[in-house]
Structure 1
Amino acid sequence: MRTFRKKILLGYGASLLLIIVVLSWAMFLILRLGRASESILQENYRSIQAAENMIDAVERQDSATLLILLGYEQQGTAEFRENETLFLQWLGRAKDNITISGEKEIVDALEKGYAGYLREISHLQLLYRSDRTKAANAYHEVILPLFRSIRDTCIKLRDLNHETMYAASNRANKISVQAVFSISVIGAASVILVIVFSLFLSHLISRPVTALKEAALHVAQGNYDVQVPVRGSDELTLLATQFNLMVEKLKQFNDLNVGRIIAEKRKSEAIIRSVDDGIVVVDDNFLITNLNPEAAKIFGVLPEDSLEKHILEVMRDEKLFHFLKEALAAGRQPRMEEGENILTIKTGEESRHYQVSIVPMRTPSGVIPGVVLLLRDITRLRELDRLKSEFVMTASHELRTPLTSINMAVNLLRESAATKLTDQERALLEACYEDVQRLRALVNDLLDLSKIEAGKLALAFEPVQPRFLCDQALSVIKTQAESKDIELILGVPDDLPEVTADPHKIVWVLVNLLANAMRYTQAGGHISLQGERVGNQVQLSVTDDGEGIPFDLQPRIFEKFVHGKLSDSGGGSGLGLAICKEIVRAHRGAIWLDSIPGEGSTFTFTLPVAV
């Protein structure tokens, strides 16, 4: 079962062998060329160098001889002896480097001639001391010819080595040309063989691999009847056999599960159809893949006509479509402010309200194939809430008149009859007065909240400095803070930009938040009012280091009649934070809470920067 592997190893082994042959031949030629170059340097260059230096030395000796004849005997003699030593040194090196034919005879003649030259120079010096005229004649007749003979012999030695070096250089050039040619031929043959083998091997591999690829494409498209031809006994044949077995098992598995998948799909569709709420399922291209009859009824379409249509063709609401895109992109439910999750659809004169919930679908691998849009009909709940608000407003109005009368009567009794009453009666009167005040505050809060919810609260918007609003709120609460020994800290910069707000309503919100903070802060505590710009909004926050708010109450703290854990000083009506929330929303802002029980609370709200 390793035939295919052996074929590859054999082919690449042959290629490797060719490469080794080419490299070996190249190394042999390079070494041969190197030896030829080394021979040139060793055999000829040293002899040429010796000849050049001997020429230079003997010429300097001739110059020294002339110095002697001119009367500078001591200086001339010293220079002559110095160059004599140099000449003999280079002559010795020439004798040690005799490597070519005819070189020995030239060196011997040079050595013999130089010895005669030295003898005649000694005779010349003796003759110069006795008769300078004869000495000058002897130089021209004897010394000068010997000097020229020695110099010519050195030149002959140099030229012989030059010629030999040139011949060796020609041999090296021939070797290099031979090396380039032979390496090119062998290299070209190796390349051709490698290309032929590579083409053969690629065809050998690609043919069954191509067949496997085409079969895999058919399987991916759901065709499980495809088979790959099985030929030979190598590893690719084994792979084709295993592929055919795999396709057969996939076909059996597909036949087994198609029925289950269809049954599950029909069950899911039946569940979706039976749900009273509207359900729309869209894919990652926002095409509707399923919707139940209730959703079709909401949008006034037929279910079968809406499938595979874009969601905007059925639901013409850009804001809701934006939330669908956000859910698909982020893979989580979109964050909607209160009121943004309500879809109102008008049919003639009637309006119906639906609470929207968007849930992304997620596969086990984490892919988001689409989202589910759930529409819950809350029209009846909205109507009940409207009726409740009207009842509260009516009841509050009806209670206001008798409460005013009771308040006047209680105040009259406190002013005129207090001295005539016993201590117990005065205590009861004070309790009655406090209860009346509490009821009046509750009725006023209910009326304000009802107006806000009904959209009837008049707001006088104007550009105003945040620091001015905070100063006004602190001036209202300052006396109460001093009486409880609570430190008020103002951290609102003067250079904050103006905001668009109703000053009276925002001061009311700040006073309410500060009063709540004071209610939950013990004596010696601290309350901080801070402000900063964040983008196109200004954030104002009230922070205390009091008791904090329990975690289970925090999600509902802005609902009506919800109280935190009360301190010993008593609590309010439970409507203050609900009214604060509605006022802030009316200013196109948001309000939220950050609190850790036992460490204090921070209420923050935003106001838009004035344009």
Structure 2
Amino acid sequence: MVNLKFEWNKVVSHIPRRSIKFKIFLVSLLPTIALIAAAFFNHQYLTILGESAEQILSKNYKSIKAAQESRKLLEEIRNLFLAPVNRTERLADIPPGLVKKISDALDICRDNITEKGELELIDRLLERYSQYKKAAALLDKRKSKVWNEQEIFDIFAITAEMILTIDELVSVNEQAMERAEIETRTLAAQAQRNAVIFFGIIIVTLSSLNYFFSHRIVMPMIKLADQLSKIKEGSGDYPDMAIKADDEIGVLAGAFNQLFQRISHYDNHRDNIIAAEKEKVRQSEEAKVRFIADISHQLKTPMTSLSMSLGLLHSRGEKLIPEKQKKLYDTAFDDCSRLATLINELVDVSRLETMSQPRPKETLNIKMVITESVAPLVKQAEKKGISIHLDIPDNLPDVTIDSFRFPWVITNLIGNALRYTSKGAIIIFRAYRQGQRCYFQCSDTGEGIKPEYLPHIFDRFTQFSERGKSGTVGLGLAIVKDIIDQHGGDIKVKSRVGEGTVFTFWIPGSIKENTDE
């Protein structure tokens, strides 16, 4: 039987360097990498844009806040000067540090210059503030005096100019903030459009790459499946698949190539078996034809002899001398015995036809089975002066057998030994266990079998000269082998002419072992 097991060590030696799993992982990794890259660049772009806008707007906001604070302080000082109802009243005191706060606010505006023209406005404010500071200091020294119209007018004029300049400064920063907002919205919209375009390019590129790689991965499978679908069972025409991919598909194609080689060998082996079986059937048919001719001849001879003996006894029995009558009676008896043996052999033909049908098995004490099977043959052996010895251990385990057919094996082997063994000979039947098998051996010291007959000893409808002389047609051993085969065992024979014959057969020790075998 051809061994169909794959030589996986040869297949495994071609381990793929680039497996399908790795390729699929790479294909699935591309979108992830692209999305991460897109998210990273988009984040960087928006971060820079946000930081820039935040920095600009923060400085504008600080300038506006400081300008408004300085304006508030100027108005507060002006209101202090306007507090007296008439000119006879004394001027209000300017709180300490109030003028200094104006200077601090203007310093903040100077430190946050971001727009064009803002520097000029700050310089003008600082210049007016210097004048304002001197005027305020002069008024502060003359607190004991009442109104001085020129001094009051000068400080109010400076205050008005500074407020106007502050309003211009606030306006410049507010316009800058409005422009920054518009620019930010424009840049955000542009960034959004760029992101849409970028993601569109990524999606198209990834789709193309996915289709390309999927095609590269799937096409070898499709070609392999197409080649396999074209194979016809038992056609004997198996393809040699080209191994183009260095991955699992290549390994699979190599495995299929090895499988096809094995199947091709199996087909050849199967064809040889079928041819051998056909030849065996042909030979069996020819043997059956020869068997029918032989059995007809063997039936005809004793029938003719019996008919002649009985005819002579019937027509001339009274005239014959007693010795002649006895001889005719003995001849008729021998012919009847021979006919009975031939008829029993014909019964064995029907046994061959029913032997293929399985029967239930039982687990029995094999020593008891052998003893009961041999018991009917002991008296027959004693009549011929032959001794039958049984060598069966008492501790032999129970064996699972067909209780109907298996005893027939024992009786047939011992019966054959009795048939071909002379007076004074010994027949020994042994049973023993070796490993998981139960062995049985039937040996005799009879005539033996010629070497040219041994290869065909178990063939059906095969006669040898010794069997023909004994009045048998040669079916007993064929049935023995069929029964042993049904038990999952085997039988062998050794023989030497003039020294005797030994039949050895074995069967599994249990049903499980029989199934495994």
- TM class, shorter-length: 0.3 to 0.5
* Larger strand share, 1 or 2: 1
Q: How does the TM-score come out when normalised to structure 1?
A: 0.36
Greater gyration radius: 2
**Which fold has the larger relative contact order, with Cα–Cα distance below 8 Å and residues 6 or more apart in sequence?**
2
